[in-house]
Amino acid sequence: MQFDVTSLTNRRADNPWNRLAIGDITKRMTWSRPQQEALISWEGAYAYEENRRLTYRELDEKANQFANALLEEGLKRADRILMFAINSAEYFISQLGAAKAGIVMVPVNVMVAEDVVEYIIEQTEPKFSLIDAQFYPKLERFFQSKALAPGVIIPLGGEVPADGISFSEFISGRSKEEPEVKIHADDIMEILYTAGTTAMPKGVMLSHMNLYMLSLSHALTHSRGAGVLTEWDYRHGVYYPIFHIAGQGMLLSTQVIGGTAVMTRMPVVKHMVETMSRERLTAVFGSPADYARIVQIYEKNPGKYATDYLRVASYGWGPLAPEIDKRLRKLFGEDLILLSYDGQTECVYDTRGWHHKFYEKYAENAPATSYLGVSHPLYATRIVNSEMGTAAVGQIGEKVMQSPCVMAGYYKDEQATREAFRGGWLHSGDACKYDEDGDIIFVDRIKDIIKSRGESISTIRVENVLKMHPKIEMTAVFGVPHKRLGEAAVAAVVPKSGEDLTEAEILDFCRGKLANFEMPRKVLFMDRLPISVGTKVQKYKLREQYKDLFER
């Protein structure tokens, strides 16, 4: 072992005792509260009963076994492992184990098309794979072509194929001791692919430092005011996929302060309610739609579910209606902390806004106006104009940020990375503005703003108003050429099943809620919208398909 006691700059510590490495999170907890429950996996989110409820010591030892197994298989620091699975105890153990071994994870969204999978495999050249049995058929052709080596199979949703090895077999007999691997804070821990809406996704490079800092940042915000005596009493529901950065961040932020994470296989509202009640959760994260369904279940079943534990409810992917806020507070108490998050894979979540800090403004303007709040403690987030100066109050600009939480770059794409970091700040592509109090308001994606007769129309604002209509299931607003206006707003609407809707009815609903220039000039009724990954609408397809709408 060598010690450098003279250099004051350019130091890169190989010392395991003071490094920033994600795999060390659980190891350090074994010296604090080894018997504390670290991870509780709900129905369907574990392949083996022994992994259903894991203490910090058990989780750390199993992750060490997975790490040592990878190293014994011949994988080396910075080799890639493709992960194609959804939430399970075994999946998280594998992620943690790969981090301990210095292996770079490539978690893939299981909903992507096969050509996207092929692109990711070609770009990252993984040496190994971890797959849920239910998804093995989707990857079988890549095994047959030798583009990907069959690896570990988590026996969920199917059987382990002959050319694979089960998770339990893979770690059986492996050492439970921490592997001796050099890991630096700026080593890339994972390459996480964004959900592209116009092209192949980009590989976001996230280092150990990025993940560690974002976990601390979220923990600072989410655990404060959670009504717990110590961090150990913090119990957080993790419902969204940990192949996404949001799910990973929620899970790791619980681990980094020694709390207990309760994880479901997928974000099923019934399971959310059950875990909140039976596991006495103090904090949860969900979407506005999740909370609307949660309050319905609680209200229809008075007294069935516990309401005396939940203290923090955060959400993302759009504004929460004040009506749902009021119903949540009626159920869980007026001191329930509700807050919004905003971010993306490249920066995770850089802003947060607490309802109780600006409640009158929120209650009057939401959900048509989407308030993002202010920066997280570890972020510098600002709105800039085209010259990179700070935007004036009310002026629409782009949200940019600097933080140790932001990505290192896009894998093998220097041009896109330079563009993303122009001016020394990470550019989000989000059009935002400041209000008179300095709070950030989300306007739209820059590429989706409609320029109509000198006015800028936020498609998100119009969509938020349309979503308030009780007969609308989904909607997307986009701009198309118009001789008189330059661009005109068009609303594509998917009605709820069995509902009859007319254009006149929708426009009447919008009057008074939208300015005249914001009103859709045409409403198109559809059975479905073009979707990429998750719920991202491919508006470019709608713009192309209907570019001649007002020429007809």
Answer for the pair 269, 293: CB distance below 8 angstroms, yes or no: yes
Burial of 388 (0-12, 13-18, 19+ CB in 10 A): middle
83-102 residue pLDDT tens: 999 999 999 999 999 999 99
At 305, is the secondary structure helix, strand, or coil?
coil
Count of C-beta atoms within a 10 Å radius of residue 331: 16
335-351 residue pLDDT tens: 999 999 988 899 988 99
- pLDDT band for position 376 (cuts 50, 70, 90): confident
**194: region left, alpha or beta (phi > 0 left; psi from -120 to 50 alpha):** beta
Q: Which two tokens stand for residue 217?
A: 């940042």
Which residue in 515, 406, 525 sits closest to 462, CA to CA? 515
Q: Tell whether the model's pLDDT for residue 21 goes beyond 80.
A: yes
Q: Which two tokens stand for residue 273?
A: 């309610």
Scanning 491-551, the segments in alpha helix (DSSP H) are: 503-510, 539-545
Answer for the pair 283, 272: CB distance below 8 angstroms, yes or no: no
230-270 residue pLDDT tens: 788 899 999 999 999 889 999 999 999 999 999 999 999 99
- pLDDT recorded at residue 243: 92
Residues 6+ apart with CB under 8 A from 90: 46, 47, 48, 51, 154, 156, 167
Q: Is the pTM of this model over 0.85?
A: yes
Which residue in 273, 259, 244, 282 sits closest to 111, CA to CA? 244
Q: Which domains does the chain have, with CATH numbers?
A: 24-209 (3.40.50.980), 214-404 (3.40.50.12780), 456-551 (3.30.300.30)
Count of C-beta atoms within a 10 Å radius of residue 179: 22
Q: For residue 145, how many C-alpha atoms fall within 13 Å in the half-sphere facing its CB? A: 8
Instruction: Give, for 27, the enclosing helix (H) or strand (E).
Output: helix 24-29
Which residue in 486, 466, 487, 488 sits closest to 476, CA to CA? 466
- pLDDT recorded at residue 198: 52
Unique residue bearing structure tokens 């800092």: 213
Residues 6+ apart with CB under 8 A from 424: 402
383-440 residue pLDDT tens: 999 899 999 999 999 999 999 999 999 999 999 999 999 999 999 988 999 999 999 9
Answer for the pair 195, 533: CB distance below 8 angstroms, yes or no: yes
Residues 6+ apart with CB under 8 A from 338: 313, 314, 315, 320, 325, 328, 329, 354, 355, 356
